[in-house]
Amino acid sequence: MDELKALPKIDLHCHLDGSLSKQFIESCLNKSIDSNDLTAPFDCASLAEYLTKFDIPVSCIQTKENLKNAVLDLIKQAKEDNIKYIEIRFAPTLSLNPDLSYRDIYEGVIEGSRDGLKQYGIYSNIIICAMRHHTSEQNLAMLKSGREYLGSGVCALDLAGDEAGFSNELFSYLFEEASRLDMPFTVHSGECRNVNNIRIAVEAGAKRIGHGICLGNDKELMRLCKEKHIGFELCPTSNYQTKAVKPGEAYPLRDFLDCGIAATVNTDNRTVSNTSMSREYEFITEKLNIAKDELIQLYKNSIELSFANDDIKNILFKEIRA
């Protein structure tokens, strides 16, 4: 484990609310919290059950100061995990309240990101999430306000939430507006075994797919994703918890790499899944037939697929040349 922890890492799929430390949450709420209220069991019945663990942490990011400190809390964890770059995603609308505007929300998380670089030397960017259960008016307002910060701390858009209840075909308006605004986007797709959601996202212009576990069920789509160099943000621990991969089923990472699919490995939710990048590396090397030298390829994939600018990408490449 020490050898894996020493490797440089990149996390492209990490939710802020699902990754807040227990200590941070308790300091915000000024009371003790049972770890079981924050961490999902490994044998979750579904993604919907997994998502119930987000209510408490979301209540902790309802002020500008807490948003800044939440990002710092996550970047501190990233430092301990030897992560060199992290894309932190969150849903701004879940923090919107009468005392907190979108401008306050964005400035809070961006300030935390910048302070994280100063204090811990970790590069980061923010991905803003539209939510499947929100109205089109809510999602478009969030997107348009966030677009003002593209390149200044915000790097992309995401669509998250209950995929089984709200398929991608309902969000053409969001993908079209993101394209019109030149806002790059990734989309949670194929986590709930609906391969058509992956196709819709790719055809709409998504640069990356969050999870995409069931891609192998459609060989034609698999070839298309390879040709387009679509990135796949795999999160092994989370994928088993949410039953995106059922017990006894083969995890697709090995097949993705062998077929030339641009795959990455990420944490998804460090606290909810009780994981870290080092633990994910340990899992894939011990259980998924991933050789340790292939971890370097995963790191390179993450650099290439990241929404970071070229200067940051060059710095990240140097980490593996040293």
d(CA 156, CA 203): 17
What confidence score (pLDDT) does residue 166 get? Answer: 96
Residue 236 in contact with residue 251, Cβ under 8 Å? yes
Looking at the chain, how many residues does it have?
322
d(CA 80, CA 266): 16
Mean pLDDT of 19-23: 97
Stretch (H or E) spanning 263: strand 262-265
Q: Which of 176, 178, 79, 172 is nearest to 129 (CA)?
A: 178
What confidence score (pLDDT) does residue 94 get? Answer: 98
Helix (H, G, I), strand (E, B) or coil at 210: strand
Marked catalytic residue, from 87, 163, 177, 191: 191
pLDDT digit string, tens, across residues 200-244? 999 999 999 999 999 999 999 999 999 999 999 999 999 999 888
| The two three-digit tokens of residue 130, written as one number | 């539209």
d(CA 50, CA 315): 36
pLDDT digit string, tens, across residues 46-67? 878 888 899 999 999 999 999 9
| The two three-digit tokens of residue 168, written as one number | 């991608």
User: Is 191 a residue of the active site?
Assistant: yes
Flag whether pLDDT at 321 surpasses 90: no
Residue 217 in contact with residue 195, Cβ under 8 Å? yes
